[in-house]
Amino acid sequence: MTKLSVNINKVATIRNARGGNVPNVLQVALDCEKFGADGITVHPRPDERHIRQSDVYAIKANIKTEFNIEGNPTPTFVDMVKKVKPAQVTLVPDAHDAITSNAGWDTKRSLAFLTEVIEEFSSVGIRTSIFVGTELEMIECAAKAGTDRVELYTEPYATLYPKDREAAVAPFVEAANLAKKLGLGVNAGHDLSLENLRFLYENIPTLDEVSIGHALISDALYMGLEKTIQEYKFCLRKL
């Protein structure tokens, strides 16, 4: 079964725009869990413009489902993750001022660095995932780094999907097949939505997890959080 991890960064963005604690980020995480989400994802950034370190600690202390922390493995990030000990850490090569994640790792160039970071997380029992594109060499080098999983960066899929969904999904199928052959788990995330998620799942039913935030939280404004989560989970069911 492909799990749905809900990224709640956008909830924190709304809270921070006004100050105070409305909407309550922790309560939303608990509600997502109650409404059927298989995991909660956060992506804290150094400027804390959405998720704050205090959110990370509060969420870990209160949720029962899987917790996934994404981010660039700077010393501060690594230290925080090792203290929190989430189920999974997803390594993303973000610049400190990036609006959102917009590229996967060059795992060949960063092989030594990633190997060292992964060993550090693995030593305390945290599952690791590397954010990558569909270039096969990048996936091969991710496996060499010792990661447990890769997360496929799906913005190119989402962008091409309305024009040619078969062409859009083809490189992702090839990448996922190689990752599985190399013994890696496969996650996917970025710009996945109710429009394109079902087709991705139909073509890559071996996905371990999808992480979805922006589209899901936006849909919840119209449909409500509970119904929205159920609609996304329906996209991940075998018919």
| Residues involved in catalysis | 43, 70, 190
Please tell me the chain's helix, strand, coil percentages from 3-state DSSP, rounded to the nearest 5: 45, 15, 35
- Angle (deg, nearest 10), helices 136-144 and 111-122: 50
Q: Is 148 left (phi over 0), alpha (psi -120 to 50) or beta?
A: alpha
- Rounded to the nearest 10 degrees, the angle between the axes of helix 111-122 and helix 75-84 is 20
Residue burial 84-100, b: 16+ Cβ < 10 Å; e: rest: bebbbbbbbbbeeeeee
| 136: enclosing H helix or E strand | helix 136-144
What phi and psi, each to the nearest 5 degrees, are found at residue 173?
-65, -45
Tell me whether residue 193 is exposed, middle or buried, using C-beta atoms within 10 angstroms of its C-beta: 0 to 12, 13 to 18, 19 or more.
middle
